[in-house]
Structure 1
Amino acid sequence: MNKDNVLQKIVAPPIAEQQPQILELHGDRRVDNYFWMRDSSNPKVITHLQAENAHTAAIMEHTEPLQFQLYNEMLSRIKETDLSVPYRKDEYYYYSRTESGKAYQIYCRKQGSLDAPEEILLDENELAAGYDFFELGVFAVSPNHQILAYSIDRSGSEQYTLCFLDLTTHQLYPETILDTYFSFAWANDNKTGFYTKIDAANRPYQLFRHTLGTPPTQDVLIYEELDDIYHLYVGKTRSQAYILMVLQSSITTEVHYLDANDPQSKFQLIHPRKTGIEYNVNHHSDYFYIVTNDEAINFKLVKTPVASPAKENWQTVIPHQEDVMLSGVSLFANHLVIYERKGGLQTAKVQNLPTGEEHNITFPEPTYSFFEGNNPEFNTKILRFHYTSLITPQSVFDYNMETSQMELKKQTEVLGGYDKTQYQSQWLMATALDGTQIPISIVYKQELQKDGKNPLLLTGYGAYGYSYPASFSSTQLSLLDRGVIFAIAHIRGGEEMGRKWYEQGKFLQKKNTFTDFIACAEYLIAEKWTASDRLAIMGGSAGGLLMGAVINLRPDLFKVVVAHVPFVDVVTTILDTSLPLSAQEWEEWGNPNDKVYYEYMKSYSPYDNVEAKDYPDLLITAGLNDSRVKYWEPAKWTAKLRELKTDHNILLLKTNMDAGHSGASGRYESLRELAFEYAFILDRLGLRN
């Protein structure tokens, strides 16, 4: 294939034949030459994306042996036929397993004991057969264990179809419900289910009550949320006593509750929404336990009587702490598990409810991640959680909350003789422009020399209060074993250092996110971990925005950039409330209808700030069916970079024409995508073996 001819197809006919779009706001006249790419019904748009894909394939053709090698390496470390740790619910043990050569999970259970015969509940491989994409949403077994509610997405658009399976006959109920979201709750009568539906912008906004075996046209609309910034979710307390309807924006919560034994009754309000007040509800006996930021930026725990849950009855259980963030709690019959963040690291402690005694759960490594596992039973003394670090594979533990004994149930096996002692992880601190200390998690091969010659891959996110986990990935061994250092910049906009860390990376302080990342890169160079001509960076979605912003600010600092489904056309997208998430984004980035926010957002929006200058080697990805970051954002950004950049470095756009925000589905296709990206990074860093 002639690469020049492919590139000519990209930059000439589709673009030249279109008229620019004129956008005017606050007296600012903006010309968008690539606005036409939004129309996926225009054959020239699809032709353009296909031409970009052909160009990408042509440029990367010489790396195909490396891609093949990387794919086989990564696959060889995975135990293809494997089993999850079963969890108990009543008399059943539930688990999932995989089989060699099959891309998806198989969900199973055993009754009475782990030695009982296996019952297959759902085989994703059968549901995915004949489709290029598959994702399971809801998976909810009824309280009597006889009915399975599940939902599926076969396009990547996050528009799920809800189905019901009789587990005694393994026959489907006749009804299917379209355009649902992935939240669902069973009432205790085993025939009533509550589900959420999405609007034209993919926002879950309606709650319905469904009676099993009846047509969906007879379903009762319980609630409809008209405010575009709120999403609606439904769930059930671990106690099985209450169904919760949660209305949530980025910064505000409102929760209603319903007696799960009386699904025909009305939902009752716990506390009305008040802008900026968030709360999360748990249940125990006669009380709701509520984690809230009401007059507590780092959150506090209160409890309130179920019979009268209004705010005036809230009683403080755990007061607010300036230096510790309360991340959440988990309630069992006799124990309260408390999750916190202190000094950037996750911590946990267990309180015995009858006695009030507390003890800590401790972890040995300098940087790590853990999260609660599947704990459906309320009357138990066992807490299941998952622990991992940059060098420790994911490990499932059962923790006895009375004796503090911890039992390792399973550690994900890494085939091929993985030895964690051959790798080292550290927790570093870089200094930001304003003097703030920014944490960095880093991992590398033990024999590494800090001589400024090491290749390094730096990643980050920095938005929505998401704390980037320091977790193990067997695929990263293909980088580490080639001498590549891997690092995570825990920049502001996340919540690693508490709620203020998030507040300092949003609205009119958003640029802290970008300058923090640059400060981390500069620190790693100054400390001779790497050099700018050996430094690759990677981020996705809001992390893709991060990639675009930092290369506009400091293109000289980075050699290679991978931007996954990047949110780069910030102003135009957030102004368009017909798009998914846009209205809700006002609480993260600001409302661009306000001139102050408009000008600030425009000053860092990657698409709006592309200039005629040199940029690093770039691989940009998109998903045609992406409902979160529409495909045209990366496509427009690529086109504008092609138009203006002054270098001869590589610029590639790779659009998955069959997937959405998360890329390819199925473990094999996902590995192929990752092998492609790793091959791009290694090739551009000169590591081609």
Structure 2
Amino acid sequence: MPTSETKIQPPIAAKKPTKLEKHGDVRVDNYFWLNDRENSEVIDYLKKENDYNDKMMAHTKKFQENLFEEMKSRIKEDDSSVPYKLNGYWYLTRYEKGKDYPIYSRKKETLEAQEEILFDCNKEAEGHSYFRLVGLSISPDNKLAAYGVDTVSRRKYTIRIKNLETGEIYPETIETTTGGSTWAADSKTLFYTKKDEETLRSDRIYRHVLGTSVTEDVEVFNEIDDTFSTFVYKTKSRKYLVIGSSSTLTSEYRILRADNPTGEFQIFQPRIRGVEYGIAHYNTDFYVLTNADKATNFKLMKVSEENTIKENWKDLIPHRDSVLLEDVEIFKDYLVISERDNGLNKINIKRWDGTADYYLPFDNETYTAYVSTNPDFDTKTLRYSYNSLTTPNSVIDFNMETKEKEVKKEQEVLGGKFDKNDYTSERVWATAQDGTLVPMSLVYRKGIKKDSNNPVLQYGYGSYGSTIDPYFSTVRLSLLDRGFIYAIAHIRGSEYLGRSWYDDGKLLKKKNTFTDFIDCSKFLIEQEYTSAHHLYAMGGSAGGLLMGAIVNMAPELYNGVVASVPFVDVVSTMLDDSIPLTTGEYDEWGNPNEEEYYTYMKSYSPYDNVAVEAVQKYPNMLVTTGLHDSQVQYWEPAKWVAKLRELKVDDNLLLLHTNMEAGHGGASGRFEALKEVAEEYAFLLDLESIKE
């Protein structure tokens, strides 16, 4: 591995002090100038960092190629999804050998019918370094498809309409959208969501009539509160069009009969700050999943479609202190409820007539189970998915009447070497500094003993109530088979242990997320799963913020850290309401225009706290970003690395890799993305002196 004695010198970013003042507090940002992707000096600096990264990792290039081929070899290249039926057609997504992108197709009535190709994204992607097709929406008469395309990775989708009978792409081109759209019952009227050109906030819903100019489209809703975003969809019953508005803490819906597209949307229940609700339609009623009336873990309520105001909502499934009600799926004869109890997924099935009420049986303590695609309303079959840290994903059709299940597909792990019996998983509980027990899911090859020499990769996220479930990964096998233990820390800020688990890791309690992760690390070391010489941490986006915080707070615990698209310049970003997503994030992080939140945010913001003690050693670090990222702007990790280079007092690796063609999700092709994982894994394995 290259060291400081190697002649390769890292690029040093120019210091151009910018004074930033708020609430009488002055911050000096020497690298503020990197916030300009049109500046050739900025692009030059990013390219120099890429060149430095290439040179420092040059000795691993062959290993990266081998890792890539190894990970690719486990993937079934000519794979296909399990078909689902909707409105008389079976829909499926498949891949062909050697190709990066999906092919969307359908078959009429039976799976034996001739395949009809809707979109071959491999052809669509030709000539583009990035390509993504989203929001495929079929008209009720099955003749048209609306879809969104992004070729920049900025998540600004252009909606087009295709005639599925003739193959013609209509001239309508609707730009700067979310990519999603929904048809009215007439198969001529399309509703879609526009994004603000600068902030990329989804703020307006429009109505487009087939065959007319896009300039004639009618704005049917404008979300003027810049902390909210809006979206439009159709209920599973197909009776109603729904416009939703949501912020982190509050939601509101408007409804309109799908057979009356020029009518006026009616408010379902006006927004009340702190009240979240979601709606599903069945017969003449709506079912409301909500946290109203202090139902922290949510409850299910019912209301007539004739008068949907909150005063008329009636409890159907009451609130439970220990069980998080996550979602419901409605069928003609059954109600299916997705819950989380003590961190574990549960699926409850009830008949509307009360003659059946039971849970699907799961017998692991580190599994993931979730209700899958179920667009068919009049069916007794529930489709769900199941996997665990050691068990590949299965798609299962379950007969809710007979309780018989059929595994429609089990993920194949190719290469001939995988046997799930070679691996074991467990759930352990670390004690946080405030006494709270924090769960972790671990997976490793059988036979590994507790030994402080074991390499461990600890992964975390811990924001937005987003839970990282213990899921199976073919890619992860490349670490496990080389002796790594993989740990998912279910820290506060997620909803792993219910809604209060999320509330205890946000706003003025955000630091719990970071200290939980650190206390999990200490547990792994104390229990001799590993030692600080062999412990590694990884996280992306808000999980990258986590990485930035832990290397400031407890750098001595980690030998290496991978921070992907990290959100590390918290204060400056949250003060800039022109940046995509900022205003909608106030309920997650706080609004730094208020001094209390500003002060708290500044106390943990990774960029503002680099080497805050003036002298600090940092672990070996690989930082990745995308030039076109719309969620975490590239300049956050770029500035962070520049400041780390200036202030850290060690010879450990510090690498920045900017994908000059991609955004937040990285490369768009299914195999191209593996190259980025191979780079991250080679970085970690090289630190363990594992060369092959």
One-letter identity of the residue aligned with 1:467: T
Paired with 2:369 and 2:195, the residues of 1 have a C-alpha distance of: 32
- TM-fit CA distance, 1:430: 0.7
Paired with 1:569 and 1:328, the residues of 2 have a C-alpha distance of: 34
Contact 1:3 1:59 in 2 (8 A): no
One-letter identity of the residue aligned with 2:254: H
Aligned to 1:226: 224
Paired with 2:7 and 2:190, the residues of 1 have a C-alpha distance of: 53
Aligned to 1:242: 240
- TM-fit CA distance, 1:64: 0.8
CA deviation vs aligned residue, 1:347-392 (integer Å, no higher than 9, x gap): 1101100235311012122111122221111111111111111111
One-letter identity of the residue aligned with 2:289: V
CA deviation vs aligned residue, 1:24-71 (integer Å, no higher than 9, x gap): 111111000000000111100000000000000000000011101101
Aligned to 1:579: 579
Aligned to 1:415: 414
CA deviation vs aligned residue, 1:74-102 (integer Å, no higher than 9, x gap): 01111101111111113211101101111
Aligned to 2:187: 190
One-letter identity of the residue aligned with 2:653: I
Contact 2:617 2:648 in 1 (8 A): yes
- TM-fit CA distance, 1:6: 9.5
Paired with 1:528 and 1:31, the residues of 2 have a C-alpha distance of: 43
Unaligned runs of 5+ in 1: none
- TM-fit CA distance, 1:8: 5.1
Paired with 1:3 and 1:520, the residues of 2 have a C-alpha distance of: 31
Aligned to 1:626: 629
Paired with 2:369 and 2:3, the residues of 1 have a C-alpha distance of: 49
Paired with 2:482 and 2:221, the residues of 1 have a C-alpha distance of: 55
Question: What SS does structure 2 have at the residue aligned with 1:514?
Answer: helix
One-letter identity of the residue aligned with 2:438: I
Unaligned runs of 5+ in 2: none
CA deviation vs aligned residue, 1:393-448 (integer Å, no higher than 9, x gap): 11101111112222100011000232100000111111111111101011000011
- TM-fit CA distance, 1:594: 1.2
One-letter identity of the residue aligned with 1:247: S
Paired with 1:197 and 1:6, the residues of 2 have a C-alpha distance of: 51
What does residue range 522-537 of structure 1 map to in structure 2 within 5 Å? 522-537=522-537
Aligned to 1:467: 467
Pair 9,470 (structure 1): closer, same or farther in 2 beyond 3 Å:
closer
Aligned to 2:365: 366
One-letter identity of the residue aligned with 1:251: L
1:10 lines up with 2:11 in the alignment: yes
Contact 2:284 2:305 in 1 (8 A): yes
One-letter identity of the residue aligned with 1:552: N
Task: From 624, 645, 649, give the equivalent of 2:652.
Answer: 649
Aligned to 1:306: 305
1:107 lines up with 2:129 in the alignment: no
One-letter identity of the residue aligned with 2:265: F
Question: What SS does structure 2 have at the residue aligned with 1:196?
Answer: strand
Aligned to 2:351: 352
1:26 lines up with 2:23 in the alignment: yes
Paired with 1:373 and 1:642, the residues of 2 have a C-alpha distance of: 46
Contact 2:430 2:438 in 1 (8 A): yes
Paired with 1:393 and 1:135, the residues of 2 have a C-alpha distance of: 26
Question: What SS does structure 2 have at the residue aligned with 1:83?
Answer: coil
1:598 lines up with 2:601 in the alignment: no
Paired with 2:393 and 2:514, the residues of 1 have a C-alpha distance of: 30
One-letter identity of the residue aligned with 1:63: T
CA deviation vs aligned residue, 1:97-122 (integer Å, no higher than 9, x gap): 10111100000111121111111100
One-letter identity of the residue aligned with 1:388: N
Question: What SS does structure 1 have at the residue aligned with 2:522?
Answer: helix
Paired with 2:118 and 2:393, the residues of 1 have a C-alpha distance of: 25
Paired with 1:469 and 1:154, the residues of 2 have a C-alpha distance of: 31
One-letter identity of the residue aligned with 1:513: T
Contact 1:6 1:51 in 2 (8 A): no
What does residue range 228-307 of structure 1 map to in structure 2 within 5 Å? 228-295=226-293, 296-307=295-306
Aligned to 1:637: 640
Question: What SS does structure 2 have at the residue aligned with 1:667?
Answer: coil
Identity %: 49
Question: What SS does structure 2 have at the residue aligned with 1:222?
Answer: strand
Question: What SS does structure 2 have at the residue aligned with 1:143?
Answer: coil
Paired with 1:548 and 1:675, the residues of 2 have a C-alpha distance of: 22
Aligned to 2:326: 327
CA deviation vs aligned residue, 1:268-299 (integer Å, no higher than 9, x gap): 11111111100000000110000000120110
One-letter identity of the residue aligned with 1:483: G
Moved over 4 A (4+): 1-9
Contact 2:338 2:371 in 1 (8 A): no
Paired with 1:518 and 1:375, the residues of 2 have a C-alpha distance of: 40
1:682 lines up with 2:680 in the alignment: no
Paired with 1:106 and 1:371, the residues of 2 have a C-alpha distance of: 25
What does residue range 44-193 of structure 1 map to in structure 2 within 5 Å? 44-193=41-190
Aligned to 1:404: 403
- TM-fit CA distance, 1:217: 0.7
Paired with 1:327 and 1:501, the residues of 2 have a C-alpha distance of: 14
Aligned to 1:519: 519
CA deviation vs aligned residue, 1:212-265 (integer Å, no higher than 9, x gap): 121111111001111110000111111111111000001000001110111111
- TM-fit CA distance, 1:7: 6.2
One-letter identity of the residue aligned with 1:10: P
Across the aligned residues of Structure 1 and Structure 2, the Cα RMSD in angstroms comes to 1.4
Q: How many residues align?
A: 685
What does residue range 665-680 of structure 1 map to in structure 2 within 5 Å? 665-680=668-683
One-letter identity of the residue aligned with 2:422: Q
Paired with 2:489 and 2:551, the residues of 1 have a C-alpha distance of: 16
Contact 2:345 2:370 in 1 (8 A): no
Question: What SS does structure 1 have at the residue aligned with 2:671?
Answer: helix
Pair 142,5 (structure 1): closer, same or farther in 2 beyond 3 Å:
farther
- TM-fit CA distance, 1:9: 7.0
Paired with 2:225 and 2:7, the residues of 1 have a C-alpha distance of: 46
One-letter identity of the residue aligned with 2:104: Y
CA deviation vs aligned residue, 1:302-323 (integer Å, no higher than 9, x gap): 0101000011110100001011
Contact 1:3 1:58 in 2 (8 A): no
Question: What SS does structure 1 have at the residue aligned with 2:533?
Answer: helix
Aligned to 1:486: 486
Paired with 2:353 and 2:362, the residues of 1 have a C-alpha distance of: 26
TM-score by length of 2: 0.97
